[in-house]
Amino acid sequence: MTNKRSIIIFWALFLVPTLIVAAVAFRLLSHEQDRLHRSAQAALTQQAKTLSETIHLTIEDVQQNLTLSLLALEQKQIKSRLVQWEHTNPLVRNVFIYTKEQGLEYPLDGMASTKEERLFAVRYDALFSGRTSFDFNREGRQEISRTGTGLKKEIRADSYGSIEDDIEKSSRKTLVALSRVRQKPLAESLDAIQADQQVVKFKEKSGWIPWFNENRLYILGWVQKKENDPVYGVELELMTLLSRLVADFPKLEGKNAALVMMDGSGMFMHQSGALNVDSGQSPLAAVAVSNLLPHWRMAVFVDSKSFSGAKGFLYLSVILLGILICAIISGGVMLTRMALQNQKDARKKISFVSSVSHELKTPLTSIRMYAELLSSGRVKDTDKSRSYLSVIVDESHRLTRLINNVLDFGRLEQGKKKYHPTRFELDRFLKHMIEAHTIRIEKQGMEIKIQISKGDFAVRTDKDALEQVVLNLLDNALKYAGDGKFIQFVLEKEGPFTSLKICDNGPGIPKEQREKIFEKFHRVDDSLGANQPGSGLGLSIARQILQDLGGDLFFEPMPGNGSCFTARIQNYETH
Amino acid sequence: MEQTTSVYQRISLILLILFLTFFTARDIWAKTNHSKVICRVETDRSVLPAGPSQDIILKITLDAPSAPMHIKRPPVNLSLVLDQSGSMNGTKIEQAKAAAIEALTRLGIQDIFSVVVYDSNVNTIVPAQNAANIQGIIRTISQIRAGGSTALFGGVSQGALEIRKYIENDYVHRIVLLSDGIANVGPRMPEDLGRLGAALIKEGISVSTVGVGTDYNEDLMARLAQKSDGNTYFVESGFDLPRIFAGELGDVLNVVAKKVKVIITLPDNIQAVDIIGREGRVKGRRVELFMNQLYGDQEKYALIKVKVPQSKAGSKMLVARADVSYENPFTQKNETSSGRSWALFSGDSKKVAESINVEVVKEYQLNLNALAQERAIELSDKGKKKEAVKELKQSAAVLKKIGSRYNDKELLKEADALEVQAEQIEDQGMSKKSRKILRTRSYQQKYQQQAQ
């Protein structure tokens, strides 16, 4: 009762703090997970912003370079240069020259222009017919700085992070290079213009128009050097711009997030990240790409179920926490088991000491009593004296066996038991043993049955140790199956082993006890007032000896009732 | 003893000089005597009826020479852009891989090869590199697995990026795009992809498109190929892919002229009425056409309708002069060629009838037929099935009539095929397959773009 309470208290003290620590740790980990989740989302959004900014800056650079290149064209060369750009520069979709008086000078009307050029003229009809002024979108106009180097260099390169560095190397650089289309002599003339600029203020106009036609975006750049000069310019090839930019989108790892660039109608222009995004799905965050690409957005999509740059963190942490708790609980279980085992062992040892004391006392009492009777000289009858002496001898043998068992147990436990194997015939050995104990068996009123199959039963083992095994088994049979009708000795070969079976038709051993009987100190009836005396060591010692000698000892129930112990001994040839 | 050694040394030296001189002379001879592109200008009749002004058909033919045997062919910079979206799973992706490997094995170590795969994302699995490490590349190609959406635009853009790594060199740049589905990530309108193609051709990059199955967008694929001067193919099952890739590569490895520009100059009294099939520009008496590349032994042509003035019987007139300029990829030099066409006028209608140039008439009719097929597609898209069928049947009837008149088997065969197509459309409507066949054939006819 006390033990049970101790165990309950132990477990209460042990489990409650463990569970509290586990709960707190789990809560903290969940919070940490949420924080990581939010920071991963914020990082994605930031990535979208940075990417948008890069795209904006790239387009801005491209446009400014093109504007400067347009402005640098000499009046006589405008048309030829523009046509050349149209044919050779992937950034230029169409070119045009427009005057107020004559309208569109280039592209020409009719078959002199391609279908694309005719569509271009139709697309910007409002501008080319004079209905709309080129600088209607004042806010879209760029103030071109013509001081300094003239051409914009990638001066912003240092202002953004690693993705941008990559883009810097490739698409941004090549795009800006494409937009820098002026020839060397023209650059020189620009320098001359810049020099003049110190004195005369330039009256040029320029601008970029994001133009929507049939819900599609087009971008037109124009310049006009002086008030009555022609307006000329280029239409940007948006697909070239897009094609170059998308090739350098950052690669997103994992399948639960995507960066998507969308146009004004929500159509996906490019996606980075393997997440399967439906067109109707609303993004986690979206930022405007650039005012130069009106209504275009950079959207961040995540799969809220599985996304978290660090969902693995929670899983890993929970697994580690689980392992820790399992380790603690396993430790507790082990400790409890050990404590219970120790308790059990202690109980068995106490019972053993009591049993051994009792066992030693019984023959000693008999010896002492008969010895005293004989020494008093009151027994005159010779037969009686002989009988008393016989009892003394028997009891002494019993005492010797008991002491031998205790001594053997000690040696076996310490591993100090020494064996001296010799070759002998097991059948002869068995017959000799039976002969020596026939009187004891018959005294019990039991019939001896011997069943030795034909063949050679030579074994190489320790004869004395085996004798002790047989004696222990025989003692067991006489003790517990004394009311049985027979005791049977069977000797037969089983492969590399010889089986020596000692069977009886006594009461047998209950099923749940059949393996426990081989445990040390174990007795089926463990009480002091048990019917039969014993130390609970006989079978344990017998099995240990046989195992040490390369064999084993098993129990099998006899058909009907009774027990059968099989000692398996290695054959001589097996050695 | 020393004298003998000296004699041997001298003989060896002389032999070496002779040997080197022979090979250098052979190379120089081969380079300078390499055949040029031949330009021919023909009319549909060499004898025209005298009398009032009339429209005639001019055929400007460019006959590409064979690739010279003794000069190394120009190296190729090939990028394969393969669709690995979910719909490609199974035979298609396996055959696409086999086709990619087939293409790779046909390249030489001087060529550049890259592979880009795309689903919803785009990945370069074989960055642009010399086609030397074949086994390593084959292993990489074998690992392609299908799954995801179709980012076609991104795929082509990435392919172009790989090509640009070697854009400065004198390679024949080519992207081969394979797709079996509708592009659903990135620009997906045929116009958009056409613009991408138009931009790429300015860098000398052509895109050939291969559509597999019946679910891809043939308009988009044809437009991309057309604007970048590539080929376009329709294959119904994946099993044809290795053959198509091999044919395409045959073309790419056989380029004999690049940046081909044709300028047709008409006399003052002759006026250009129309350019049949191809896109071009008419500037007064000048007609400008671009054809980009010519493959060895290929014939490419342009058809122009012109109006000749009133003429007297017995008179002779220069109808047109064509000047072709192109870059010879073997010598990296610009070369030119030209051709002229004269017309005789006669009052004898028999002479006029006998002077018919069947080839010109045939190609003219086939091009008109290609245009009729495109109109039929447009009509069918607008739900006007009857009108579409009528258009095709009319075209087939014209082909049959002219085919019978000149006993031309090709025209008759084309007429029969078109009739079958028209009847199928009449019975079952314009199926995806019919639409793809019409679109692809009309493109191949108009631009003479088909793997040899």
| Predicted confidence (pLDDT) at residue A155 exceeds the cutoff of 70 | no
Instruction: Give B284→chain A minimum CA distance, Å.
Output: 7
Alpha carbon distances (Å) from A186 to A86, A192, A235, A236, A429: 18, 10, 21, 21, 123
Q: Is A355 exposed, middle or buried (0-12, 13-18, 19+ CB in 10 A)?
A: buried
CB atoms within 10 A of CB A313: 15
Q: What pLDDT is attached to residue A307?
A: 60
Cα distance between residue B14 and residue B17, in whole Å = 5
In the structure, what pLDDT confidence band is assigned to residue A188 with cuts at 50, 70 and 90? very low
Instruction: Give yes or no for residue A157 having a pLDDT over 50.
Output: no
Shortest Cα distance from B158 to chain A (angstroms)? 5
pLDDT at A154: 38
3-class secondary-structure state, position B16 = helix
CB contact under 8 A, A237 and B195: yes
Indicate the burial class of B272 (C-beta count within 10 angstroms; 0-12, 13-18, 19 or more).
Answer: buried
CB pairs under 8 A between A and B: 96
Asked whether the ipTM of the predicted complex exceeds the cut of 0.90, the reply is: no
What is the Rg, in whole angstroms, of the alpha carbon atoms belonging to chain B? 26
The SS3 assignment for A550 reads: coil
Nearest beta carbon to residue B120 from set A242, A251, A276:
A276
- Nearest chain A residue to B165 by CA: give it: A170
Average pLDDT, chain A: 80
Residue A126 to chain B, least CA–CA distance (Å): 22
Alpha-carbon gap, residue A52 to A288, rounded angstroms: 7
Structure tokens at B13: 């030296």
* Per-residue pLDDT tens digits for A306-322: 665 456 777 888 888 88
Across-strand partners of B62?
A: B39, B300
Q: What is the model's pLDDT at position A474?
A: 87
Q: How many C-beta atoms lie closer than 10 Å to residue A457's C-beta?
A: 22
Q: Hey, is the C-beta of B165 within 8 angstroms of any chain A C-beta?
A: no
**Calpha distance B322→B288 (Å, rounded):** 10
Comparing A411 with B388, which gets the higher pLDDT?
Answer: B388
Residues 6+ apart with CB under 8 A from B248: B103, B176, B208, B210, B231, B233, B451
Give A553 or B279, the one with higher predicted confidence: A553
Q: Would you state the pLDDT for residue B209?
A: 92
Residues 101-160 (A) with a CB less than 8 A from some CB of B: 108, 110-116
Let me know: does B385 contact B425? Beta carbons within 8 Å.
yes
pLDDT, tens digit, for every residue of A21-46?
888 988 888 888 888 878 888 888 89
Measured between alpha carbons, how far is B374 from B362 in angstroms, rounded to an integer? 19
| Nearest CA-CA partner of A479 in A438, A517, A507 | A507
Nearest CB among A114, A237, A258 relative to B279 is that of: A114
Residues of chain A positioned with their CB less than 8 A from the CB of B446: none
Contact at 8 Å (CB) between A470 and A502? yes
Which residues of B fall within a CB distance of 8 Å from A170? 161
Is B196's CB within 8 Å of A247's CB? Answer: no
Among A77-91, A294-308, A379-393, A536-550, the minimum mean pLDDT is found in A294-308
Instruction: Give the Cα separation of B44 and B61 in Å (integer).
Output: 13
CB atoms A239 and B148 under 8 Å: no
pLDDT score of A198: 44
What whole-number distance in Å separates Cα of residue B301 and Cα of residue B289?
Answer: 10
Q: Token digits for A399?
A: 């005492």
Using CA atoms, how far apart are residues B325 and B51, in angstroms rounded to an integer?
36
Q: Which residues does A305 contact at the CB level (< 8 Å), separation at least 6?
A: none
Q: How far apart are CA B64 and CA B340, in angstroms?
A: 17
Q: What is the mean pLDDT of each run of 10 residues along chain B (452 residues)?
A: 62 69 52 73 90 91 86 87 84 85 86 90 89 85 78 90 86 90 82 92 91 87 90 84 84 86 92 87 87 86 91 89 91 90 89 89 90 90 90 92 90 90 87 86 77 42
pLDDT value at A467 more than 90: no
Cβ–Cβ gap A246/B186 under 8 Å: yes
Question: A 226-285 residues with CB below 8 A of B?
Answer: 237-240, 242-244, 246-247, 251, 258, 267-277
pLDDT at B305: 92
